[in-house]
Homo-oligomer: A and B are copies of this chain.
Amino acid sequence: MVELKGLPGFRDFYPEELAARSYIMGVWHEVALRFGFEEYDGPPLETLELYTRKSGDEIVQQLYEFEDKGGRRVALRPEMTPSLARMVGARARALQKPVRWFSTPQLFRYERKQRGRLREHFQLNLDIIGESSVLADAELLAAGIEILKATGLNATQVRARVSDRRVLAAIFRHLGVKEDTLEDVYQVIDRLEREPRGRLEARLEELGLGPEIVSEIVATTELRGLDELRAQFGAVASVAERIAELSVYLEHLEDLAVAEYVDIDLSVVRGLAYYTGIVFELWDARRQLRAICGGGRYDDLLRIIANVDMPALGFGMGDVVLTELLREHRLLPEFRRSIDCFVAWMGADAGRQALRAAQVLRSAGLSTVFEFRERRLGSQLKSANQVGARFSVIIGPEEVEAKQARIRDMSSGDERLVAFDQLARVMRDEANGA
């Protein structure tokens, strides 16, 4: 019979790959908890409407969606924010505000065209709900940057690109863009780095915008830093108001010791339709990979999903690009299987004693493996090395007779004899380096 294979775009995590994933998950958890966030999780399968209500039917093309046996239209979650909005909304009154939650779900997207691209990834989602202060925006970005710092990435290796949809809206309104065209303009800008400029200008013109407005929009996306922004639009009152808030935001980032990572970059808008305020992306400094992280403020989503009015903001940080970047900078810990003790034995009586020894060592908290069948000592010690044992505990007929075990330090080769009833204590001290 032919052997079965996994689906294209889905990863198998053998222990080595799982170790890399666990490392990243560990950093996510550590920083999120240090920032006082609580962990939650939602279901990987949701009603299709949870995703179409805000994003429209277009998103269906990119989803794993189907009809379940009860006739419900369902989808594997492509993002976590709608589930979060649903969950927070359902307990909006009872939950203590602001809600500070994080989760590390696996997400799924069916992208037909992109061969070789993954169809799943893991993503840290970190959100603050019930707080409109710009200080919360700063806190959110600081958490994202602190995660990168915790992996060892510095400000020459990764950059935060920050923009503000309210700044852009104020500018575009000032330029004469109509209210109901704004979202379409954002969607075009979001393709900025993936399409040639001519194509973008054509798309903007298709929205009914005149060539002059189009070139002013394009020029706006080229603004970098508060000074350029001020110089260009500081005299427009509606824009100046937003610039003032961005400037407070930057001061907060300075106090939170992450400002050196941050660039104001008006070409960033984020693709998802639900963003309403400050948005940001984290990138490798040379921009050779995709974005590491993206997020921002989405003050309307809870009303749309859950019929409650709560300001909200959050980001998603995927495992794939981050792993790539860490590997590139040699910041991913090397995987090496390791256990504390390997129990080797020769002879039936020793076999029984070996199991008792393993039980005692495990009860003392030491990770321990024993040999399943009698083999030559040399073969057993080879196995001990292969599983990364720091110590071998060797029991043969003589050791049984003397009620002792021979302990071998697998790196130095040093051996010593220890009485059975001292084994757990001695090995615990050894393992702790005492």
Residues of chain A having any CB pair with chain B under 8 Å: 1-8, 10-15, 18-19, 21-22, 33-36, 38-47, 49-50, 53, 64, 66-70, 72, 74, 76, 82-83, 86-87, 89-91, 96, 98, 100-101, 106, 108, 110, 112, 120, 131, 133, 135-136, 138-139, 142, 146, 251-252, 255-257, 304-308, 337, 339, 351-352, 355-356, 358-359, 362-363, 365-370, 372-373, 386-387
Contacts and interface: CB of A to CB of B under 8 A. Distances in A.
Task: Decide if the interface of chain A is mainly helix, strand, loop or mixed.
Answer: mixed
Contact of A359 (B3, B98, B257, B307): B257
A69 B8 CA distance: 12
B87 A14 contact: yes
A15 to B, nearest CB: 4
Nearest to A302: B3
Given A100-B369, A146-B362, A359-B255, A64 B68 contact: yes
A136 to B, nearest CB: 5
Contacts of A138: 355
B4 A387 contact: no
B40 A306 contact: no
B91 A35 contact: no
A27 to B, nearest CB: 13
A365 B18 contact: no
B367 A46 contact: no
Given A38-B15, A96-B387, A367-B35, A68 B110 contact: yes
A263 B10 CA distance: 42
Contacts of A251: 352
When all copies of this chain in the complex are counted, the total is 2
A4 B47 contact: yes
A91 B251 CA distance: 54
B34 A366 contact: yes
B367 A305 contact: no
A291 to B, nearest CB: 24
24 contacts: A1-B307, A2-B307, A4-B306, A5-B47, A6-B42, A7-B72, A7-B74, A13-B40, A13-B42, A14-B40, A15-B38, A15-B101, A38-B337, A44-B106, A44-B120, A45-B76, A66-B67, A133-B372, A135-B351, A135-B355, A136-B372, A142-B359, A255-B355, A257-B363
B372 A131 contact: yes
Given A3-B308, A21-B41, A135-B372, 10 more contacts: A4-B86, A12-B41, A13-B40, A14-B87, A18-B40, A18-B41, A35-B367, A44-B106, A45-B120, A138-B355
B352 A86 contact: no
A7 B373 contact: no
B112 A43 contact: no
Given A43-B10, A255-B355, A36 B5 contact: no
